[in-house]
Amino acid sequence: MESIFGLVGDGFAVVAADTSAVHSILVHKSNEDKIMVLDSHKLVAASGEPGDRVQFTEYIQKNVALYQFRNGIPLTTAAAANFTRGELATALRKNPYMVNILMAGFDKEAGASLYYIDYIATLHKVEKGAFGYGSYFALSLMDRHYHSGMSVEEAIDLVDKCIIEIRSRLVVAPPNFVIKIVDKDGARGYAWRESIRDAGVAAA
């Protein structure tokens, strides 16, 4: 029951993801961070099979770092999104990755941007996007309340509306969410929205 979603505001992009690691009927942990800091000004929120999600996002992260190391300049968000799309398209005909990605970034010339990349290598630049079961609720709320040029406060308020709706409507709803933001000052964590905490192992 994964949920990731994001939107672009005035000079920034914000992404949110649930933090549940589940398999079958079991919840293994409730603090799994599914939003990777790709580099200083890029974020990747991913959903899908846990192994594919971790392996593929780390692969993209290391290749983006390698490009910057070799060439002395970082990839733009558009270039990183197209590279990611190309790797998914190549894998699609060999050993597909079951992973869906929202890539957010900030570039000096282009400003903030958000890219939608699904497991069959579809790439779109969007102002708002979502994946997972929570997308049914997040997309409808964003269609109703989103407008271009949102402030950080407005965007976070909309993200919180989406989280509340997912928690109240989804039959097996993830309890905790992480929110991250990227702007001219870089990519960073913004907040956690927790309704439960992982309990520590009791001492014997």
**Helix, strand, or coil here: 197?**
coil
Please report which helix (H) or strand (E) contains residue 65, including its range.
Answer: helix 50-71
Q: Tens digit of pLDDT for each residue in 119-141?
A: 999 999 999 999 999 999 999 99
* Of 32, 106, 101, nearest in space to 74 by CA: 106
Predicted pLDDT at 120: 95
Predicted pLDDT at 99: 96
The structural domains of the chain, with segments of one domain joined by +, span 4-199
CA-based torsion, 54, 59, 64, 66: positive or negative: positive
Specify the amino acid at residue 109.
Answer: E
Average pLDDT, the chain: 92
Q: What is the mean pLDDT of residues 23-47?
A: 92
Confidence of residue 200 (pLDDT cuts 50, 70, 90): low
**What CATH number was assigned to the domain covering residues 4-199?**
3.60.20.10
Q: What does each C-alpha distance from 90 to 71, 81, 114, 121, 135 come to in angstroms?
A: 24, 14, 22, 9, 27
Predicted pLDDT at 128: 96
**CB hemisphere CA count around 61 (13 angstroms):** 19
